[in-house]
Amino acid sequence: MNNILDSFGYANRIFSNKKHNYTVVTKCASSIIIDTLKMTEGKNDNAKSNFTFIRLPLARIKSYLYQEKCFTEEETIHKIKSILHSFDGFNEHCVPYSFYINYDNFNLIGTLENFNNDFKNISKKKIIKESRREDNKEVEEIHNASIKKYIEEISAVYGGDFRLYEKVTT
């Protein structure tokens, strides 16, 4: 598994500044965090904290479907099947973050859904930029219906992510 993780461009990389080490989980505000905290790639062994951010697995899948321009039911189902079969070719945006994020390795694991409050535990800095996408309601309905068709398989494949998310938020 480490060979696969090592091949990722961004996921599981560590960025740091004087105070913090941050481990990247793709589709979870990474560029915003790195830019706001003026971090550079590499681990700081003297950092006071290690943190990361995760998000609901279904929201992460939906974000990826938008990124991949899956705007029809056929495109969406084809992509979901590819994600379930091979994480869409072991794409770093699809590999479960629970494969490389261990709860015990972090002082804080924040969630994208509670980003502003969780980020305050790291820094008092204001967020420089936020990535917002105007969701198309029709496409959102296609994604929701397609995901619902495969929810059992998705829940099995991303079970570790769901458990980690639950642990972080309770």
State whether residue 135 is helix, strand or coil. coil
- The order of strands in the sheet holding 20-23 is 40-41, 14-16, 20-23, 49-54, 108-111
Average pLDDT over the chain, rounded to an integer: 91
Residue range 136-160, pLDDT digits in tens: 899 999 999 999 999 999 999 999 9
| Distance from C-alpha of 8 to C-alpha of 2, rounded to nearest angstrom | 10
> Rounded to two decimals, what is the model's pTM?
0.89
10: pLDDT strictly greater than 90? no
In Å, how far are 40, 71, 129 from 135, measured between CA atoms? 32, 11, 18
Per DSSP, 165 falls in state H
The residue ranges of every structural domain in the chain are: 2-169
